[in-house]
Amino acid sequence: MPTTISFCGRQLAAEEIKLIRDLVHDFPALSLAELARTICELLDWRRPTGALKNHECSLFLKKLRDRGWLSSLPEIRAAQVRGPRKPVVVSQQSDPQTPLSGSVTQYTPLALDLVSDASGRALFKQYIHRYHYLGYRVPVGAQLRYFVRSLRFPDQPLLACLLFTSAAWKMAPRDRWIGWSDLARRSNLPHVVNQSRFLILPWVQIHDLASKILSLAAQQIQEDWLSVYQVQPLLMESLVDTARFAGTCYIAANWIALGQTQGRGRMDRDQTAERHPKEIFLYPLHSRARERLCQISTTPLPRSPI
């Protein structure tokens, strides 16, 4: 086992690694979820809101086990599968609706409704599972979901779905554009938000709808992310599969095209997955976003609305 390991951008000291090994060895009856929660509490691994990084720690422990770094220790017992880890149950509620077409001006004003209840989350998962080419995967870290609808026609079906999550730990073109150091990145990454799913529902064929939604989202995410996570977002990022999409709506909404990823997802640390590069788009949410993200301070970046 190496002398240092990185977890969520933080280098673990030798004593922290030893603590993890000792806990897994000394408490074999604990479930994976219980181990993760205990480790997070002892090492104070928390989100900006103060919530423990239980899910990320569970993935981290599985990776240690799979790489053989915990191979001499008792098998980590999986916790009972429940909640969002269950297979997505599809119902008629997400069936195709009456086709909608025309210009976006015929449907404005639009509203981005933050999904906050169980029924809304279930419908959101169904839509992404059924109609997004990547399907539904349980997001890691901070996350906000939105439904998009027309205020002019409140009784019509929903138009689109948006998912925002924590940013990728490292992306070379993005990190070069920001110009931050590793220390600044670890400190300020919570101020970068990833727009990880964008689904215009397949029966919706409204001209210029996508770019209009992106423009509205850039305004609303600032207030909502600050309200929910007490962190002021300074930059949005998104990855576009150019084999499927041209990214025209991002360009129309004034996002910045930076170049392509290396084609390795954040979970492909062993570089065994097939390469599948994507175009990186960024949208600054503050005129001095790069400057602020490069700052290294003992106090958080300003949380007041921009």
Instruction: Assess whether 130 and 45 both reside in one domain.
Output: no
144 & 38 share domain = no
Question: If 0-12 CB within 10 Å is exposed, 13-18 middle and 19+ buried, where does residue 114 land?
Answer: middle
Least confident window among 145-159, 163-177, 270-284, 291-305:
291-305
> Residue 36: which of 13, 61, 17 has the closest Cα?
61
Let me know if residue 199 belongs to a domain.
Answer: yes
Q: Are residues 184 and 289 in the same domain?
A: yes
What pLDDT, on a 0 to 100 scale, did the predictor assign at position 35?
Answer: 83
Q: What's the pLDDT score for residue 66?
A: 81
Q: Is residue 245 part of a domain?
A: yes
* Domain that residue 28 falls in: 5-66
Contact 103, 208 (CB under 8 A): yes
- Same domain for 259 and 119, yes or no, is yes
Q: What is the pLDDT of residue 297?
A: 66
Nearest to 147 by CA among 100, 198, 93: 198
Q: Domain check: are 100 and 34 in the same one?
A: no
CATH number for 255:
3.40.630.30
* Per-residue confidence band for 32, with pLDDT thresholds at 50, 70 and 90: confident
pTM above 0.75, yes or no: no
pLDDT at 269 over 70: no
CA neighbor of 120 nearest in space, from 100, 148, 140, 141? 148
Q: Is residue 302 part of a domain?
A: no
Asked whether residue 187 is domain-assigned, the answer is yes
Judgement on whether residues 119 and 263 belong to the same structural domain of the protein: yes
The 10s digit of each residue's pLDDT in 258-267 is: 988 876 554 3
Residue-by-residue DSSP string for 99-138: -EEEEGGGTPSEEEEEP-SHHHHHHHHHHHHHHSTT---P
How many domains does the structure of the chain reveal?
Answer: 2
Q: Which amino acid is at 258?
A: L
pLDDT at 84: 45
Same domain, 101 and 245: yes
Residues 151 and 188 in one domain: yes
What was the pLDDT predicted at 68?
80
User: pLDDT value at position 94?
Assistant: 92
CA atoms 241, 242, 244, 248: torsion sign: positive
Asked if 213 and 284 sit in the same domain, the reply is: yes
Same domain, 246 and 97: yes
- Give me the mean pLDDT over the 194-215 stretch: 96
Which residues are CB-contacts of 37 (< 8 A; sequence separation ≥ 6)?
52, 54, 57
Pair 177, 285 in one domain? yes
Pick from 18-32, 49-63, 232-246 the range whose average pLDDT is largest. 232-246
Instruction: Locate all alpha helices (DSSP H) within 205-247, ordered by sequence.
Output: 209-229
